[in-house]
Structure 1
């Protein structure tokens, strides 16, 4: 019920596009742009190519990042994120995480979900190529990313617990907690950088977990 309410709310944000042509992906946009495709065959047998284009960090006057839906190379609609674009046979749902896209899926009217295909020149497309060409390496990288985030989360919880129980008034009632790991300032920086890299790698695969990867927008 909550998911359906969010979907309807996102659908109300959709606005008509202006018909502008879809710009090709450029190499210097690796860190600033996400571009995904969906090919659907309509009832009359005609194949239509949908594209979702998101410029990370580019916001409107209210600070909202927008997604743009293109149909056969022309802008058909736009919406603030999270977005839900009606398309043939279902909806394309798009949302962001703190490190990229958290979701870009085609959800059919029957409820089946299919991730869109990233542009081959995009960061997501290059990560998808590694997954196809080197599946064992890809799985290993994915496991490492998850492990790094779990370790970072445990360290954060441990340090936070120590800080919260440090005041004498709180320690008197619940006891003082001492973190088993005492990282230096540089150690915390390295953990933070590792967590950022791991979350970015997961975002390139459209993997997102509310606890491991931060909030979605």
Structure 2
């Protein structure tokens, strides 16, 4: 953890630019400050930078930590983690009581996806189910091939032996599965959905 002094303009929270929405993640929560007045705490994680989380209080940077991070705030901590497809955890964990997820800052992809869901709930549900279907297909078809690929690594093969996948798909279909799985994984992250079995498919698209 690293404390920050408000001496430099770089210690202030920058506005979100449109070109940054695919890699810069911003979330906020209002909490009582040391004097009792509400303070807006904003968490920033940037997929293009070193894997760190930054914490701002009313726009001024007050803490920095490597991911996965635990950032202290009045009454508890904010836990943050980042995956290949976006933020996988950004929750306020109080000293007592139930944890709360922070809200995405307006203009971020998470915010835009949430607003789309509120305006077009039917289309939003259809996209969600399409993502589930894509991940399920990847889990059945692509995962065995990923295991075979990993098993052919010399160190793995020496220790565990090799695995022959019962599935052998043409290259163009494998490429399609990778892109479909990646798109579905982004959708799941943007809508804060996760399933231990279904979302293990991301291992294949990480390879």
Q: Same fold (TM over 0.5)?
A: yes
How many residues align structurally? 187
Q: Does residue 15 of the first structure (1) align with residue 2 of the second (2)? A: yes
Specify the alignment match of 2:130 in structure 1.
144
Q: Does residue 57 of the first structure (1) align with residue 44 of the second (2)? A: no
Structure 1 residues not aligned, in runs of 5+: 1-13, 60-64, 165-175
Specify the alignment match of 1:37 in structure 2.
28
Specify the alignment match of 1:71 in structure 2.
57
Give the whole-Å Cα distance in 2 for the aligned partners of 1:143 and 1:48: 38
Structure 2 residues not aligned, in runs of 5+: 152-162
More displaced stretch, 192-201 vs 205-214: 205-214
Task: Report the alpha carbon displacement of residue 209 of structure 1 after superposing the two structures with TM.
Answer: 4.5
Higher relative contact order (CA 8 A, sep 6+): 1
Residues 1:139 and 1:90: Cα distance change in structure 2 (over 3 Å)? farther
The correspondence of residues 59-208 of structure 1 with structure 2, limited to 5 A, is: 59=50, 65-159=51-145, 179=166, 182-208=168-194
Give the whole-Å Cα distance in 1 for the aligned partners of 2:30 and 2:121: 25
What's the C-alpha RMSD, in Å, of the aligned pairs?
2.6
TM-score (norm 1): 0.76
Runs of 4+ in 1 over 6 A off after TM superposition: 161-164
Task: Report the alpha carbon displacement of residue 36 of structure 1 after superposing the two structures with TM.
Answer: 0.7
Q: Helix, strand or coil for the counterpart of 1:57?
A: coil
Task: Report the alpha carbon displacement of residue 80 of structure 1 after superposing the two structures with TM.
Answer: 0.6
**Is the 2:142–2:174 Cα contact (8 Å) retained in structure 1?**
no
